[in-house]
Structure 1
């Protein structure tokens, strides 16, 4: 996490915005020595908003808890098993072109 005074951010906004977008690191901006705003990439904001939406969805969270319980119980499908299942499905249900 980087903290910068607003005056520095104003002087270097393009450079800082490019770095935030490239590195996905947030920049905390202070004004008069106090935290004021935070710069973060649009992609990171969208991700945070999607996470909040998921956390608010009781049905989705129930599925997440079920998946976590399955992982804890070691009741998972391996990549190899999944590839085999997908291959078998393609044979049973060929795609229409």
Structure 2
């Protein structure tokens, strides 16, 4: 993996509206590595890794999400390879269990 890693938390009405599936589809379409999961507090958490401009575009898209979502906030911070490696071996972009 070359580029950047970003750890992203999305809040609003983002669970029960297909948000994780939307993230998975859009990240794969952009060729990004990483993962997405729900959090028990109602937010969605993701890690995106890849070229800086493509990761930034994905984060921007997360502010819109699927049409059934209502995004209140997208918090993006520097990520780490340890976070990226929470996905299973051989997975490019994964769904992780809720935490």
Normalized against structure 1, the TM-score is what? Answer: 0.26
Structure with the greater alpha carbon radius of gyration: 1
Greater length-normalized contact order (CA 8 Å, ≥ 6 residues apart): 2
Q: Which has the higher strand share?
A: 2
